[in-house]
A and B are shown apart, each in its own frame.
Chain A
Amino acid sequence: MATFETDKEQGTTRVGKLTFQSLPGQSYQTPLYTIYTSRGCIPNLTPDNFKNAIKTDDQSSCIINLNFWDLNENPGEKVLTSYEEHLKQKKSDDIQRPLHSLLNLKDYPVIVNIRDPQFAQQTCQANDKCPYGDTEMGRRKTNPESFNKLMQQMKPELLVPLHDASVHDVVHVSIDLPGKEEQRPSKKILKCVERSKKWISQTSTVPNASNLLFPLVAQTRPESLKQFLDQSELKESYRGVLLGDFGIMPPNKRSALLKACIQEVKATKLSKLPLFISGQDHPYDVLECVQQGVDVFDGVYPFKVAEFGMASIYPLQIQQNQTEMKMNLRDVKFVRDVKPVLEGCGCFTCKSHTRAYIHHLLNAHEMLAEVLLTILFLMVHSHNVQHYMRFFEAIRKSISSGTFEEYKNTFIKNTI
């Protein structure tokens, strides 16, 4: 279902193309961002507004990120089966992709992960029996059989098999403390590896599955990672590698670990596959990871920024003057400012509205609470998502034209 080819490489940095059998004639250029959803929809953006927000010149590169625990409740197996019946009766073509049809995502490929992109750290837990997630409805468990059954029904274009990635304590250990560096792998990490080997193998056995990613475990402990890779069955059928979650650690430490991690992967059968990463969504982190050769990202950066009424204004091309990463539209200086949020931005918000209007929505919310916040978030999400998509487009363009290093360096140097 999913195939990847590299278009151009510059050292470790590269642009590539993902294609999916279910969406023939479409290609998805990497590096790209898989967009966050909640209950199957993009926050505050109805389909018409969403289409506008993701538009870029190269017309591509929107993959939808769905959370497994979400899908387990909504729609869940029962409702989806019922929907399949309904489609059969209607003799609809949508029966090929029932989940996409139900969630109104027919035009897009989806990736399903057990990790919730909302949080900087992995929140999905596990014990010896099974992985579990804490949802609004309470603690929910799953196991390889029901996971396989559901995913066979749902047919996502990209799927992360079950594994144990609850590596919190490893993050603590790997922070620079004298002497602690060369510790033997903790019991916890060994457990993660054992469970993951088992579950990955059990959830990679679906016949004709061509959507699976191979998830790394112990990615922050290179020795354990090497062992894990040696002992795992690295099938031909894997379509990508999920570098997983580097948690919270100093950037230089993360850089070094990421490099080591990618090197280990490149030394195996999986070397030609696209590299996916979780939890690296801040533009600085994205640039760093792109430089190291990462292809696909997740996260909630544009939405997080919007939470406080901020609009993204980081540079989309090489520029020498200083600029801020974001603009606080609550600031009193915008009361009478009739310019668009960002001059030259083609998003719906900047084409139709002014800073004064958005400032008004932000302040008026004291009177009418969530009603205006909705439209405020609509505006700011529209802008921030569009800006983020353009950011990835800028990355792709700069790699193709050989100017990525310069873009990255001027970006980090000139933004506050």
Chain B
Amino acid sequence: MTEDDWRQRKEITDFQVNEISALQFEVVATCGPKARVGNLTLPHHKADTPIFMPVGTQGTIKGLTSQQLEDIGCQIILGNTYHLAQRPGPDLLDHVGGLHKFMNWNRNILTDSGGFQMVSLLDLADINEEGVNFQSPHDGSQMLLTPEHSMKIQNSIGGDIMMALDDVVSSTCPDRNRVEEATWRTLRWMDRCIASHKKQSTQNLFGIVQGGLDPHLREICLEGLIKRNCPGYAIGGLSGGESKDQFWRTVSLCTDRLPYNKPRYCMGVGYPVDLIVCVALGVDMFDCVFPCRTARFGTALVGDGSLKLRSPQFATDFNPPDVNVGGLVNEQYTRAQLHTLACKEQTGAQLITYHNICYMMKLMSDMRTAIVGNYFDKHVKNFFEQQYPDHKYPSWAVDALASVEINL
């Protein structure tokens, strides 16, 4: 069969179009061909892009309170639909009036569709046209996650941004037919999501661009989602073990094609180096478990890399973790004290998590300042020099930045 034959068979002529948007997005500054700063206004609170969104999973961010997250400056946090569906469950969330009220967080929440678990729990999942069949690893019970079901749960959660249920296939999947099937199914499921989304005026449904690492498939998905007029778009199916070279090229393709005046979210991207490159390529929103997870193992993120605070060298290091990152931990604690607490006291995990999120907020706000001040290219170069004092820059990053006229 030719390429066109495939298209004929799977093209849907009768597709859903998203009518209402519950957000406003305005690009307020650019620097270079693709990097941009935006004002994103969501139902609960505004957000300054490029933005990093910490991951909260079960309605809490790893030992920090909602008040502390506000103090640090978070504007959007992530809730994980799969876990929230188990506990507390959509009924209870309906009863209390949504996740915002339940966890007492008054700013924005973004919920994923539950689809990521497909890739991570693949042994226990069986994917067909109807949806995804999970077998819960905890009690063996069956759960069918359909686009309709995902919308229902996310409606109960009440997040400002919802993600469509997409057919996620690992970026390292060798079966091209499977990847293509997933691409078309994502579009068909997008239609089912739009049709069953009951709160379009208060919750924004983002489409997720799939297509693996194949530019042709990505194009198909892009075209399909763009004509469905989503309020915003995510670049999915990456950060799963593909080579960094393929990663950046896929991101770049998507940012080239996605509408300029709508936010773009690169899912699962969170290492500082990856973030800064993706901002250069025109991405607006990011999420990752990395900063919080690494904090619980005693690692603090700092300007020129990271500090494994459990290491004995920090027992007499009386500097704050990173003097350039503000906040409670840097004002009141030394590396020596965190060395004592790391991995031994819960308070230690809380303090290092607090610091790491402060670090991420500062990372993003420095980028925004540099873009607005029109010196983003210098900023990127300085960042790389700090992270790689021996100038052995990763070649994928060099190539990616060269594509937007930043020459390391």
A residues with CB within 8 A of B: 38-49, 74-75, 78-79, 82-83, 86, 102-104, 335-336, 338, 348, 352-354, 356-357, 360-361, 363-364, 366-368, 370-372, 374-375, 377-378
Contacts and interface: CB of A to CB of B under 8 A. Distances in A.
Contact of B96 (A74, A86, A354): A354
A219 B347 CA distance: 37
Contact of B336 (A44, A75, A370, A374): A75
Contacts of A74: 340
Contacts of B318: 82-83, 86, 102
Nearest to A379: B65
Contacts of A367: 58, 83, 86-87, 138
A109 to B, nearest CB: 18
Counting contact residues on chain B (CB < 8 A from A), the size range is: 35 or more
B346 A44 contact: yes
A44 B346 CA distance: 6
B201 interface: no
B92 A374 contact: no
B62 A104 contact: no
Nearest to A336: B95
B341 A41 contact: yes
Contact of A374 (B57, B95, B104, B346): B346
Nearest to A335: B92
A55 to B, nearest CB: 15
Nearest to A366: B138
A364 B62 CA distance: 13
Contacts of B92: 335-336, 356, 360
A375 B337 contact: no
A335 B349 CA distance: 29
The 8 A-B pairs of least Cβ separation, nearest first, read A374-B63, A82-B316, A86-B318, A41-B347, A74-B340, A352-B104, A364-B87, A375-B60
A104 B349 CA distance: 16
Determine chain B's interface SS by DSSP, over half rule. Answer: helix
B253 interface: no
A74 B59 CA distance: 35
A203 to B, nearest CB: 25
14 contacts: A39-B344, A41-B348, A42-B347, A48-B68, A48-B328, A82-B316, A352-B65, A354-B96, A357-B103, A360-B87, A364-B88, A367-B58, A368-B58, A368-B83
Contacts of A338: 95-96
B65 A40 contact: no
Interface string B63-84: 1111110010000000000010
B186 interface: no
B58 A372 contact: yes
Given A44-B347, A102-B334, A352 B67 contact: yes
A359 to B, nearest CB: 9
A46 B354 contact: yes
Interface string B31-57: 000000000000000000000000001
Contacts of A47: 328, 332
A354 B93 CA distance: 13
B273 interface: no
B62 A371 contact: yes
A41 B58 contact: no
B351 interface: yes
Nearest to B332: A104
Contact of B67 (A40, A102, A348): A348
Contacts of B333: 104
A75 B340 contact: yes
Nearest to B334: A102
Contact of B347 (A43, A102, A357, A366): A43
Contacts of A374: 62-63, 346, 349-350
B351 A39 contact: no
Nearest to A361: B60
